Amino acid sequence: MLRIGTWMAGQAKFCALYEKPYWRQAGLSGQAFSQQGPMGEIHDGSNNNQGPYGLTGFVNIPAVQRNHQQLLTEAILSQLAVIYGKPAAQPTTFYYKDWARERFTATQFDQPPMVEHPLYHPPAGQTSIWDGTIHFAGTETADQHGGYLEGALISAERAVMNYQETPKGHKI
């Protein structure tokens, strides 16, 4: 399991919060995809009609090049301003999370950039170990849509079904 790169481990995410969803008032959806700048994907992560209002997304540069968080934050805010206007450079709060720096999320196999989305599956083809005491459930163990929310849901459904078929008497 440690040798299989995880898609999200090589990613960094950001969230910029604002008092108002000014981009909506300007007729913008908040969704953008970019081939220039540090962010490749941006979404409106807000509630519909109440705060907090935020723009969220993924940093589109390899983990090995994300070593200077302050410079990266400045570049993200600059790119947001280019796409959504000057107010985007002044969020009330800004969050940045680099999953490649999380020791329980990323391994050395997650540091190089992935050139294609991996095909995931349960480790060694097993959906559980120790006579059904431990069930694998997570997006990286899904047979379909691994690395995405859909994969996590498929994996969770499989784990629940397998758990229900576990011989009685096991303490879980």
pLDDT digits (tens, 9 = 90+) for 88-107: 999 999 999 998 888 877 77
CATH topology classification for 8-110: Polyamine Oxidase; Chain A, domain 2 (3.90.660)
**Type of residue found at 172:** I
In this structure, the number of other CB atoms found within 10 A of the CB of residue 145 comes to 16
- What is the token pair recorded at 171? 């303490």
Domain ranges of the chain: 8-110, 123-164
pTM over 0.75: no
pLDDT digits (tens, 9 = 90+) for 105-132: 777 777 777 666 666 666 666 776 677 6
